[in-house]
Amino acid sequence: MKKTFVLVVLFIFPLVAYLFFASGVNNFGKLPTLTENIPDLSNFEGDVSLKDKITILGFLGNEVDERKGNAFNLNQKIYKRFGKFKDFQIVMLATEGTQDKVASLKKELGKLSEITKWNFAFGTQKEIASFFETMGTDLKLDETMATPYVFIIDKDLNLRGRNDDEDDGVKYGFNTTSVAELNNKMEDDVKIILAEYRLALKKNNADRSEQ
């Protein structure tokens, strides 16, 4: 009896555990697509593109200084953790005429970390409002064309988020005012979408090696 128990512990349990976790990886799940075919930023100044990138998209509007705290939170909690990934970027939209304020923000962010994957694009208030509407969220820009929320855009220009969030039901964006939300929700969702693309890449490489 004792020998059987030892065998179970040594061989059967690890096998069951492996199958469980392997299943979990393979069925890690995709982050739900909430809005498809968001336009790229070709009409915006700044030579920034969302295509073929995993993008964290935010809206600074015309009062950039008032949003510095949000940018710092995002930098510390999300960018520092995921900025090393090749196809990851943060894009912030600001209104035309705020270039000097954005340059000041970049300088301050640069004191906290490298900022090579922080990108900024500039447009008119009308262009920013129109772009925001295409995302089809339940959120709104304020009178300065800004929001504390940031959004996950995948490589195919789809807005990703949650459709069964315990607090919001459908969750389109993440509030950068809340460190807890960045830590407990956004970090998990960025992990999911990065894992999704890593698994897809591994599968493509495996398929090619078999050909």
10-42 pLDDT per residue, tens: 555 454 444 344 333 334 578 999 999 999 999
**pLDDT confidence tier of residue 199, bands split at 50, 70 and 90:** confident
User: In degrees rounded to 5, what are phi and psi of residue 68?
Assistant: -60, -40
Cβ pair 109, 75 in contact under 8 A: yes
At 82-132, the pLDDT tens digits run 999 989 999 999 999 999 999 999 999 999 999 999 999 999 999 999 999
Strand 147-153 and strand 174-175: pairing? antiparallel
% residues pLDDT > 70 (the chain): 81
| Mean pLDDT computed over every residue of the chain | 87
- Is CATH 3.40.30.10 the classification given to domain 33-210? yes
Cβ pair 105, 71 in contact under 8 A: yes
**pLDDT confidence tier of residue 4, bands split at 50, 70 and 90:** low
Reported as type and span, the H/E element at residue 100 is helix 99-110
* Of 95, 83, 94, the residue nearest 55 (C-alpha): 83
Length of the chain: 211
